Amino acid sequence: RRFLASKEQFHAYLRARGEPGGQAGSGGEEEEEEVKEKKEEEVGSCQSEPPAKRVRLEDLGQDEESQEDAGAEKEPAERKRARGQNKNRPCMKPTRYEQSRLCPSVTQGCAEKCYFGPRCRFLHDVGEYMAAKPADLGCSCVLFETFGKCVYGVTCRFAQAHLGDGYQNIVNTDLAKQWEGKSLVRNNLSKDLQHQLRKRKFSFRKADEYLRGLAKPHGDGGKGGKATGCSTEEQEVSNCTTPQEGLGDSPECPVLPEQGEGPRTDALQSPGLTSGEEASSNKTVGPVTDEDIIKLRSCEKKKLEIQGKLYLAPLTTCGNLPFRRICKRFGADVTCGEMAVCTNLLQGQSSEWALLKRHHTEDIFGVQLEGAFPDTMTKCAELLNQTIEVDFVDINVGCPIDLVYKKGGGCALMTRSNKFEQIVRGMNSVLDVPLTVKIRTGVQEKINVAHKIIPKIREWGASMVTLHGRSREQRYTRGADWDYIAECAKIASPMPLFGNGDILSYEDANRAMQMGVSGIMIARQVPVGALIKPWLFTEIKEQKHWDISSSERFDILKDFTNYGLEHWGSDTQGVEKTRKFLLEWLSFLCRYIPVGLLEHLPQKINERPPYYMGRDYLETLMASQNVDDWIKISELLLGPVPTSFTFLPKHKANSYR
């Protein structure tokens, strides 16, 4: 209780930068703050601060009636504040924080071979670039110190660590030789493959064969043909694979590739079904093996042996490669890439393929695909099977967001059993690695359907199911139904079933394992989870509550920053991309309550703590839910933000200004 504070005390303490006796700001500062708040309210570009967090009044010995009154008054405001996403949040483009950019050909040491020639819009004069370049952010470059060479040269924001006379890039030859020929990050999209996908020249031999089998019994071009995909090129570009009215099609309608006027099918497959022989002839080079003729049986596939292991869930936006490296270091056994949309992968979009990248430390790694139709999902599975290294492929049948659900993907597949079956069977037939499925309890809150679907998924050929103990309507709120998960685990046997939901501490993990599940998946959670407590994996393995200090938590952020600079680059664009993902992560990290401040262990689900002072200034700063305070933390790691920098988290409930 000695750590409790009011909202005013909390912000005054942070404004005073943690100095004793500096809790009350000067009158000028207060007036300035009031003017700033009024301006923000008028503009309406950011959210207002939520009402002061209430301490439980009975704990403080106050009247229960006054508690009810206060709760009744403030509840509507809280409920309204916590809903939705910041869909129109500002986007910082590279041109906004770097006006004069150096041509990549100069950075790579081949200025005379500039691809654009005299039409190039970038600078070729290094001296002119250095005169306009912002000041360096530090005196040590993580790329130079780790690999002996920084590929970003003069554009690196830490260039003073490796620039010699005449802006020459210094190379530590001995250190560089140690990394020579080693592949640190796999599953990159090559230019050749991207060209094949964009020109629709990639061969989908196995997928085409499976889709022809689906089309044979129903060749009349009925309503089912319309439901299989979009019929216009514009819909393909917008990732929409179905007309809106097609969502209600009966599950009896199968996929019908190429029904007369469907340019979409030509767009997604190689030379099409009519030129299947040409596609296969292009692929077959060298001796014919048994694998080319004899289909791989399910019992011959590589087994997914992850029972009892800790599984880091695929986390959209925040589950990037640097974050997965952090979790791997703390004891995560299985990692999975962020959800990737199959149509974007088939189009060769670089941003979508970036979600499939795998660090060499990720020994058990999978990718998660989202799609609504058998043709795109089966082809995407075959594409990944031939081009990247993964240990399993996961189908997302648990995504609750409207954008995915309304197109028939995510949770909607639970209500489209025929399409769901065709997707699972099709993907399983073209993959050489195990196929897993992630589902929810159902779509509606009080109508559980997972227990009916799980036996079918096992029959269709999936190797494992992960069950999130909430329905689509519950989204990420309410408690997960572990009794129902235990019931489904018995039904799923002998197929492994992983449980997901409300794993906040090692006690929760122990209780979950006693329910009979094969393992547990640790995801974002509303108040706590891997995003808020990445060291949760260590706590579970060591069976303890870790009272981690603010300096240790800051070191974790420092490691994330270094991993981010390695992954996204140490030039201005790479630094700002690292900052963006750091701020997104801080929107979850701020919800962590230090163990040493809790009256009762462990922290409970959906607990909203009152304002509190940490044991030092840094701990208090990390507890702030104010975006400006997160930006302060990012500046401690990545230097000052660019002029006119703005940031809003993805979810409205995560922060205020």
Other beta carbons within 10 angstroms of residue 336's beta carbon come to 27
The DSSP code sequence of 628-644 is HHHHHHHHHHH-SPPTT
Contact 171, 148 (CB under 8 A): yes
Beta-strand (E) ranges in 452-525? 464-468, 497-500, 519-522
CA atoms within 13 A on the CB side of 199: 8
Q: Which residues contact 331 (CB under 8 A, 6 or more apart)?
A: 310, 537, 538, 540, 541
In 10 A of CB 323, how many CB atoms?
25
Report the catalytic residues.
399
Q: DSSP letters along 260-290, please?
A: SS-HHHHHHSSS-GGGHHHHHHHH--S---H
Task: List Cβ neighbours of 22 (8 Å cut-off, separation of 6 or more).
Answer: 12, 13, 16
Please tell me what DSSP assigns to residue 48. P
Residue 26's region, left for phi above 0, alpha for psi from -120 to 50, else beta, is: beta
User: Residue length, the chain?
Assistant: 657
How many CB atoms are located within 10 Å of the residue 517 CB?
24
Angle value at C-alpha 581, between 435 and 529, nearest 5 degrees: 60
Q: Are 579 and 642 contacting, i.e. CB atoms less than 8 angstroms apart?
A: no
One-letter amino acid identity for 151? Answer: V
Q: How do the residues of the chain divide into helix, strand and coil, expressed in percent and rounded to 5?
A: 45, 10, 45
Alpha-carbon distance 410 to 263, whole Å?
A: 25
Name the DSSP letter for residue 612: B
Q: CA 259, CA 2: separation in Å to the nearest integer?
A: 72
What is the token pair recorded at 264? Answer: 């979409």
The tokens for 647 are: 């940031």
| Alpha-helix residue ranges (DSSP H) falling in 335-394 | 342-346, 350-353, 374-387
DSSP helix/strand/coil, 341:
strand
Estimate the crossing angle of helix 374-387 against helix 205-215, to 10 degrees: 160
Longest dimension (CA), the chain: 84
By CB atoms closer than 10 A (0-12, 13-18, 19+), residue 307 is: exposed
Residue 327 to residue 536: CA distance in whole angstroms: 9
Amino acid of residue 133: K
- Return d(Cα 394, Cα 26) in angstroms, integer: 56
DSSP-derived letter for residue 535 is T
In angstroms and rounded to an integer, the radius of gyration of the C-alpha atoms of the chain is 27
